[in-house]
Amino acid sequence: MVRGSLSKTTLTLLFAAFCALATAGCHRLNSAKPAPEQPKTMLHVTNSEFLDAVVYVVERGQRVRLGVASSNRTTTFEIPAHLLFSPTALNFLLDPIGAPARPSTGDVVIDPGDDLELRFSGGRVVLTKRNP
């Protein structure tokens, strides 16, 4: 009888030690700092045409719709952060609503945090970087 109770006591102690180690292994230190937030990359579209235009950013052949640039106005868009994690070649495409032409900028290297200006006039687009 003593021998059986000794093994139960040993099993109980082993189980308690296992539970203590398992919960201690789940503890997470809060010393890790979160990654700094990426600066916003803004695109200011000046549409001097009479038609509204849908603005797209194209990365590696994938079009991402930014929104609609109203005619004879300047509209501001934020370029999604998932497209810019480092200097990236992007293409900006305008699709005037009701017109067959789709002018684009061609590939341009954009850095996170850039402030860009896109002018749409006379069926052509011109992209420039604004000075901070």
Question: Global pTM?
Answer: 0.71
HSE on the CB side for 63, CA within 13 Å? 11
Domain ranges of the chain: 41-129
For the domain bounded by 41-129, which CATH number is listed? 2.60.40.2890
The position carrying tokens 């099993």 is 11
* Cα radius of gyration rounded to whole Å, the chain: 29
- Is the pLDDT at 2 greater than 90? The verdict is no
User: Does the pLDDT at position 13 exceed 90?
Assistant: no
Confidence of residue 95 (pLDDT cuts 50, 70, 90): very high
**Averaged over 59-86, what is the pLDDT?**
93
- H or E element that contains 23: helix 2-25
pLDDT score recorded for residue 1: 47
pLDDT at residue 84, rounded to an integer: 87
